[in-house]
Chains A and B, each alone.
Chain A
Amino acid sequence: MLLNSVPFIVYFGFLMAALLMGGRFFQHQWLFLLRSFFPNWKFFHALGWVPRLYWRRESSSTADREWSEWALLLPRYERRLSHLVFNPQVNLALSEQNLVEHLSSDIADSAPNAMVQDFVTYRMVERLVRLKVEAQIPTGSGFQFCLCMQRLGAPVVVDRDSVLLSPILRPSHAG
C-alpha cells in the first residue's frame, strides 16, 4: 500500500520539514547562473516588496529644467488565446521584470560605497530604459529612471519608495 511506504512518507515529510525550517542561502556567481539545477518551486509564495522601474523626461531643453511626471516603464499586456503557443513579447517582458528584480537584489546586497553603475544588472537596466524610451526623447533633452520598491497593493510614491535614481541620461542618438 503506497501510503504505508516509508520512503514515500519520508520524502514528502522531509519536503514539508525543510519548508518549515527554512534553509541556508548560498551565494556564488556560478550558482546564480546555474540556478536552474537547483529549483525551489516556490511560485508566488508570499506578498512583499516588488521593484518597479519608473522614468521621466525633460520637457524642455532650456536652462530651466522641467520634468515630466514619473511613469511606469514596463507596460502591461493584453492577453490572447494564441499566446498559449507563441508568447515571446510577454515572456520577454517577464524576463525584463526579473532583471529589474536582480538589480534590486544587487543593490540590497551591495556594500554602502559600491558603485552601482558598474553592476552588470545596472548596465543592462540602463540599456533596457534606453531601448524603451529613447525614441521619445528629442535631441538635446535628457531622461532619468528610478527604481522604486512597491508594497503589493499599495501605491508607489517615487520620492518615498525610490532606492536608486539614475544620473540624467542623454539619448545615444544625440551624439
Chain B
Amino acid sequence: MQDSVWLAVRGVEILAGLSLFLQTVEFLFLRDALGEKGVWAYAVQRDDLAHSSDGLQALFAFLSREPVYALHLVLRLLAALYLMVFGASAALMLFLFLSTVQLLIRWRGAFNGGSDFMTLVVITGLLIGSLGTIAGYADIAWRAGLIYIAIHSASSYFISGSVKLLNPEWRSGEALGLFLDSGIYGPLPADSLFWKRPIAILCSWAFILWEIAVPLAFVDPLAMVAYCLTGLVFHFLVFWYFGLNRFFFAWLATYPALIFLAVQLG
C-alpha cells in the first residue's frame, strides 16, 4: 500500500473509531429508551418487522433483550477502540457494519439522521478496503474505499448547499432564523442577530457558497485542506446552534478521504 493511501486510511480509522466510540457511549447512556419500559421498546417496535421472516424477527427479539443489547454496545465500544489503535480488519468492519445496521433498525431507520448515514458510509468504505485486502487487492480496495467515502462526503455538502441555493427562503435569509428559532436550543431571543436581515443573509450565503464550492476544493490538495478546516468551524456551528454533535465527528472522519482524493486528482 502506498504511503499516501496508508496515511489516509489510518486517518479515517482513527477518526471513525473516535466517532463510533462517542456515539456508543451515548447509546449506553440511553439504554432505557430501547428497554422494556422505553419509548422504543421492542414489544411495540417489533410490529415494524411484522413483514419479515420468523427467523429475522427471532434474531431481533434476541438482540433486543436488555442484557444482550448492553453486551452488544460494550463489544461495539471495544471494536471502536480497536479500530483507532490497530486499524481495520475484515472481521472488525463486518461486525461494525452489521452492528450499525441492527442499531439503526432498532431506532426505526435512524437515530440521528445524517450522522447515521455518514457513519454507515465511512464503515462501508473501510469494509470495502478490508474485504479487498483479504481478496489480495489491498491497494486498489483501499483506494476504492477512500474514494467511496470522499464522494459521499463531497456529495453531502454539494447537495445540502444546492437545495438551499434553490430555495428562496434560504436565499433571503429568512430560513436561518426560523430554523434556529424552532431548534432544540430555541427559541431565539427577540434581539438575536440572526433576526437582522443583513446578518441572516450573510450567514445563509456563507453556508450555501461554502457547501456548493466543494467541487472546486478538489483543484488543489491545499484548497481541500482549507475547505476541511473551514468544515470544522461549520460543523462546530451546526453543533452549537442545532445540537448535532454527532455530525461533527461523523464528517470529520471523512476528511482524510477528501484530502486523499484531492491529492489523487490535483
Contacts and interface: CB of A to CB of B under 8 A. Distances in A.
A35 B186 contact: no
Interface string B90-127: 00000000000100110111111110111011000000
Nearest to A74: B184
Contact of A120 (B22, B44, B169, B265): B44
SS class, residues of chain B in contact with chain A? helix
Interface stretch (B67-75, B76-84, B242-250): B242-250
A94 B37 CA distance: 19
B104 A36 contact: yes
B39 A44 contact: no
B44 A47 contact: no
Contact of A34 (B109, B111, B121): B109
B187 interface: yes
Contact of A77 (B108, B185, B246): B185
B45 interface: yes
B179 A152 contact: yes
B44 A36 contact: no
Given A79-B240, A124-B40, A131-B39, A47 B178 contact: yes
Given A76-B184, A88-B26, A120-B48, A35 B110 contact: yes
Contacts of B107: 95
A166 interface: no
Nearest to A102: B108
Interface in A67-122: 76-79, 83-88, 90-99, 102, 120
Interface stretch (B9-17, B132-140, B159-167): B159-167
A95 B184 contact: no
B33 interface: yes
A50 interface: yes
A41 B39 contact: no
A143 B181 CA distance: 28
Contacts of B110: 35-36, 98
Interface residues of B, number: 71
A12 B158 contact: yes
Interface in B164-199: 164, 166-167, 169-170, 174-175, 178-179, 181-182, 184-187
Contact of B111 (A35, A39, A41, A91): A91
Nearest to B219: A2
A6 to B, nearest CB: 13
A98 to B, nearest CB: 7
Nearest to B167: A46
B30 to A, nearest CB: 5
A45 B163 contact: yes
B109 A33 contact: yes
Interface string B207-247: 00000000100110000000000000000100110011110
Given A2-B218, A19-B166, A45-B163, 19 more contacts: A2-B265, A32-B108, A33-B105, A34-B101, A35-B109, A36-B120, A41-B155, A41-B160, A46-B175, A47-B175, A79-B240, A83-B245, A84-B239, A86-B29, A87-B246, A91-B26, A93-B184, A94-B243, A94-B244
23 contacts: A2-B218, A15-B158, A19-B163, A20-B166, A32-B108, A36-B116, A41-B114, A41-B156, A42-B160, A47-B169, A47-B178, A77-B243, A83-B239, A83-B245, A88-B26, A91-B245, A92-B33, A94-B184, A95-B107, A97-B184, A99-B39, A120-B47, A127-B38
